[in-house]
Amino acid sequence: MNRLDRISALLVQLQSRPVVRASEMAQRFEVSLRTIYRDMHTLTEAGVPICGDSGIGYSLVDGYKLPSLMFTKEEAMAFLTAEKIIEQITDTQNSIYFRQGMDKIRAALRTVDKNYIHEMGDAITVYKSRNARESLPNLLQIILSSINDKLIIEIDYTNADENKSRRLLEAVGVTYSYPNWYLSAWCHLREEYRMFRIDRIENIETKADKHTKIHPPLESLLGADDAQCLTEVVLHTSKEVSRYNADRCYFMGLTGEKELADGQIEQTYMAYSLAPLARWVLANTDTTTVISPIEVKNIIRQIIKKLDL
């Protein structure tokens, strides 16, 4: 990236974020801190009112407005791709909000680029997830608003064993892992952090009560692999089955594989629910063996007992 493009990109960052840290920008543009300092000085000399505090970062003076940004054709195409995905994997209301935002992006494009985006719309297709919620059309927006306002939410939840419960939660964040959305939250009932599949939430209500504690970042919770949310499962299977089902295995929580001395593949999963893995083993019972935990074997035995053989 040349200096002019980098300075323009820095200006975009200042417009789109409350605070821009020099260290983050240096890493992003792969330049030194001194280079970022010089670029900021150049913007200041050009009349852009930038205020900066050592150790905090740079920001535009409150109330200062810059002319509307123009998007490149490639950026607009990336937005179009995102629109196709958002429409299919999120709830109805969230899709509507994104579509409204896309209309504003299209309005900022040159006519030639508008025509390009219109013509390319039919060239991208995303199939709708079977787990997309229609009964709670504003679910994600309610959860995200509760996080921003630090308000407790109350939900009716059905777990993997089809047991229903009412929970008071302090939402920390949402995560998408194909094909489901998950909510990470502090659960008042269990008094610990738990993960909830969003498609299993039946009702949701935002309460007037504030969060009772300061919560860690979502990324640190996901990295903790809370034993209450995830169960380690170890399977031995054939190379052929491992290769043939590679994509599906990752969707079920596969975290690692290693080849054994006898030529088989040892797979390690971190699973939110044991039932899907048990049924997958049952479908490949001639080539796959459960090493642990015993609960997976018990689920398989229960399924077999129900078969009318």
**More confident: 282 or 133:** 282
Instruction: Give the pLDDT confidence score for residue 228 in this predicted structure.
Output: 53
Record the tokens describing residue 167, joined without a space.
């929970």
- Are residues 155 and 201 in contact, defined by beta-carbon separation less than 8 angstroms? yes
| Helix, strand, coil tally for the chain in percent (to 5) | 45, 25, 30
**More confident: 143 or 86:** 143
Q: What's at 296, amino acid-wise?
A: V
Mean pLDDT value across residues 80-96: 83
| Residues 31-59 pLDDT 10s | 998 999 899 989 888 888 888 866 778 98
Which of 81-90, 123-132, 259-268 is modeled with the greatest confidence?
A: 259-268
**More confident: 165 or 66:** 165
Question: To the nearest whole number, what is the mean pLDDT of the chain?
Answer: 84
Global pTM? 0.57
Q: Please state, in angstroms and rounded to a whole number, the distance separating the CA atoms of residues 281 and 302.
A: 13
Q: Please state, in angstroms and rounded to a whole number, the distance separating the CA atoms of residues 97 and 250.
A: 31
Please tell me whether residue 57 adopts helix, strand or coil conformation: strand
Burial grade of 119 (CB within 10 A; 0-12, 13-18, 19 or more): exposed
Q: What's at 116, amino acid-wise?
A: Y
The model's confidence at residue 225, banded by pLDDT at 50, 70 and 90, is: very low
Residue in this structure with the two tokens 């209301």, named with its chain if needed: 93
**More confident: 150 or 226:** 150
Mean pLDDT value across residues 254-267: 90
Burial pattern 40-59, b for ≥16 Cβ within 10 A else e, equals beebeeeebebeeeeeebbb
Instruction: Give the pLDDT confidence score for residue 250 in this predicted structure.
Output: 67
Instruction: Give the pLDDT confidence score for residue 143 in this predicted structure.
Output: 94
Instruction: Give the pLDDT confidence score for residue 147 in this predicted structure.
Output: 95
Instruction: Give the pLDDT confidence score for residue 211 in this predicted structure.
Output: 96
Write the DSSP string, 158-201.
E-TT--EEEEEEEEEEEEEETTEEEEEEEETTTTEEEEEEGGGE
Please tell me whether residue 220 adopts helix, strand or coil conformation: helix
Nearest to 121 by CA among 171, 67, 81: 81
Residue in this structure with the two tokens 């013509």, named with its chain if needed: 119
Residue in this structure with the two tokens 């299919």, named with its chain if needed: 88
Name the packing angle between helices 92-107 and 139-149 (round to 10°).
Answer: 80
**More confident: 216 or 12:** 216
Other beta carbons within 10 angstroms of residue 171's beta carbon come to: 26
Q: Please state, in angstroms and rounded to a whole number, the distance separating the CA atoms of residues 113 and 118.
A: 9
